[in-house]
Amino acid sequence: MAFDAVAVRCLVKDLKDKLINSRIDKIHQPEKDEITINLRTMTDNFKLVLSASPAHPRVHFTNVSKKNPISAPMFCMLLRKHIGSGKITDIEQIGFERIIKFSIESYDELGDLTTKYLIVEIMGRHSNIILTNQDMRILDCIKHIDFTVSSVRQLLPGLDYVSPPVQDKTDLTEISETANIDFSSPIQTADKAILSAIAGISPLTSREIVYRAFGRTDVKCSELTDNGRNKLLYETVKLAKDVQQNNFSPCMIINSASGKLMEFSATPITQYESLAEIKEFDDISVLLDTFYRTRDMHERMRQKSADLVKLLNNNIERVSKKLGILNKTLADSENKDKYKIYGDLLMANLYNMKNGQSSVEVIDYYKEDSPTVKIPLSPQLSPSQNAQKYYKRYNKAKNAEIEAAKQIENAKNDLEYLESTLAAIETSDTESDLNAIRAELIAEGYLNRKFNPKKQKQNASKPMHFVSSDGFDIYVGKNNTQNDYLTLKFANSSDLWFHTKNIHGSHTIIKLGLDKDVPKTTIVEAAELAAYYSKGRDSSQVPVDFTQIKNVKKPNGAKPGMVIYDYYNTIYVTPKELKNE
């Protein structure tokens, strides 16, 4: 993602416009590496997030409220002591780095007006939040960095604050028409050369410069002519001037096929063409809040569902191995009739056999030309016992064939159920969705009750409700239990039912009222939803079957969510989500 110095400059401009002379109202620390500050101005209230998370360091406004610990951490208490009720007098970007410095006036214990600095360094795993006095002496920081962590720069209470080492690059804001960018490497791409020479830009921005110059991003330095280098320099200088003049156009890049958030930028992005949707924002804080809230939600859901995913994958692996063994057993039993024939032939030739033989040649009366067949024998058994041995092998193979066929059918149903449940987890959006899946797995015997989530009052998970552009209600199940409810109880016989063809996914229903004539637009939208909430979410041209509910049946003893259907039509769509009602 492109939280580069360009985005920081855009953010600082936004923060200055809104927060200068604002008062700090409350300070909380909901996470070990995250601070939230409530601020008030003469006209507005704001909640500011400062995060030093290694994965998602950031600064932006938010409306999201997180649960705070009962006892505030020490760093939070220190901030309350030194800058609580303070006034923000200035916000600046240190150099052209990913560092934001808040100047805050507040009264100390003696009643004297002092200035403190709250510095946020947005630098991946090296991110930090530091509080200093007016002499830039560190009062404390959210992460203590000593010699064991870094021999170059320490961040500890009592030390003077020193900015991170400067890279041997030219700041984007200092680039001019006379700049010299080294494009001499024959194996390096042009965007990498720009990234190596210019400080403050991200890989996304360097690729955008190349794309604006050549209409593609994979240009190698060896391809560049003098005219090509001039084009690149021109686009770089043009971008630098926009940044110097604070001409920003915050935007979010969304994958057109899957709807997933890819990246964001403070400047226009054109390099993805039709592969991505570019959503523009007037306010970079709104962009950042939307982007990171979605990212955080997916990350939290991934963590909370990790045990379920592991459980299901283990069971899928076990059932798959079992299917392999059963299929081998079934293949071995195809020769069972041979054992019966051997037994019959031995019984018909007992008078010709002697004890201790290791084999015997007899006439095979079961074939038209009555050929001679050689039958292996166990020397320690009598002729009659050898015949009985072949009869036993025949009966064992016959019984194994019958039992293997039954178990293969059950194993296939188990595999189908486990894979559909795994697909439901992948499309779960809330913790209540996961808890519903846990309850379902407990009921099916896959999960021990002791692993059940702590009992607490929660809103029951309900099927998703959408309204089509023609005004028809569309419902989508989020797990197998909801799928059964929608299909077998909620829907009427004339309602339309949708499901991806041979792909695990949710049951989707178009609920019909008095109007039974469903427009094609609504059918397409319902099919897009069925494809979106399925394993085919990241694909295009996904086949979706649809039919009336009366044509959908649940076999006796079938697992939750398992149905059969006939008299259906198939439509091919690209997965897409509607606005949830």
pLDDT tens-digit map of 156-166: 999 999 999 88
Q: What is the pLDDT of residue 114?
A: 94
User: If pLDDT is split at 50, 70 and 90, which confidence band does 20 have?
Assistant: very high
Residue with tokens 């200088």: 237
- pLDDT 10s digits, 478-531: 899 899 999 999 999 999 999 999 999 999 999 987 767 899 999 999 999 999
Sheet bearing 569-573, strands edge to edge: 464-467, 473-476, 508-511, 496-500, 542-548, 569-573
Structure tokens belonging to residue 562: 């398992």
Q: Model pTM?
A: 0.66
User: CATH number of 5-141: 1.20.810.10, 2.30.310.10, 3.30.565.10, 1.10.3210.10?
Assistant: 2.30.310.10
Q: Is 225 exposed, middle or buried (0-12, 13-18, 19+ CB in 10 A)?
A: exposed
Q: What is the pLDDT of residue 130?
A: 97
Could you name the CATH architecture of 170-302?
Orthogonal Bundle (1.10)
- pLDDT 10s digits, 330-345: 888 888 888 888 888 8
Q: Is 214 exposed, middle or buried (0-12, 13-18, 19+ CB in 10 A)?
A: middle
pLDDT at 9 over 90: yes
pLDDT at 118 over 90: yes
Tell me the mean pLDDT in the region 146-161: 92
Of 564, 17, 550, 557, which Cα lies nearest the Cα of 285?
Answer: 17
- pLDDT 10s digits, 344-396: 888 888 888 888 888 888 888 888 888 888 989 999 999 899 899 989 989 98
- For all residues of the chain together, what is the average pLDDT? 89
Q: Torsion over CA of 481, 483, 489 and 490, rounded to 10 degrees? A: 120
Question: Which percentage of the chain shows pLDDT scores above 70?
Answer: 97
pLDDT at 452 over 50: no
Q: What is the pLDDT of residue 66?
A: 84
pLDDT at 322 over 50: yes
pLDDT at 7 over 70: yes
Tell me the mean pLDDT in the region 184-212: 93
Distance between CA atoms of residues 461 and 463, nearest Å: 7
- pLDDT 10s digits, 54-109: 888 999 999 888 888 889 999 999 999 999 999 999 999 999 999 999 999 999 88
User: If pLDDT is split at 50, 70 and 90, which confidence band does 137 have?
Assistant: very high
- pLDDT 10s digits, 526-565: 999 999 999 888 788 999 999 999 999 999 888 888 999 9
pLDDT at 140 over 60: yes
CA torsion sign, 555 to 487 to 323 to 317? Answer: negative
Distance between CA atoms of residues 544 and 467, nearest Å: 19
Tell me the mean pLDDT in the region 426-442: 82
Q: What is the pLDDT of residue 102?
A: 97
Residue with tokens 């009739």: 337
Q: What is the pLDDT of residue 456?
A: 41
Of 581, 547, 542, which Cα lies nearest the Cα of 564?
Answer: 547
Residue with tokens 């006379």: 178
Q: Could you state, in order of their start, the residue ranges of all structural domains in the chain?
A: 5-141, 170-302, 311-422, 464-573
Mean pLDDT lowest among 181-185, 290-294, 512-516: 512-516
Mean pLDDT lowest among 13-17, 242-246, 296-300: 296-300
Q: What is the pLDDT of residue 300?
A: 74
Count of residues for the chain? 581
Tell me the mean pLDDT in the region 201-228: 93
User: If pLDDT is split at 50, 70 and 90, which confidence band does 460 have?
Assistant: low
Of 11, 535, 464, which Cα lies nearest the Cα of 281?
Answer: 11
8 Å CB contact between 300 and 263? no
Q: What is the pLDDT of residue 292?
A: 87
Phi-psi region of 256 (alpha: psi -120 to 50; beta: other; left: phi over 0): alpha
Distance between CA atoms of residues 512 and 365, nearest Å: 68
Distance between CA atoms of residues 14 and 43, nearest Å: 16
Tell me the mean pLDDT in the region 164-172: 89
Mean pLDDT lowest among 214-223, 268-277, 289-298: 289-298
Q: What is the pLDDT of residue 302?
A: 81
Q: What is the pLDDT of residue 457?
A: 43
Structure tokens belonging to residue 105: 């006036």
User: If pLDDT is split at 50, 70 and 90, which confidence band does 206 have?
Assistant: very high
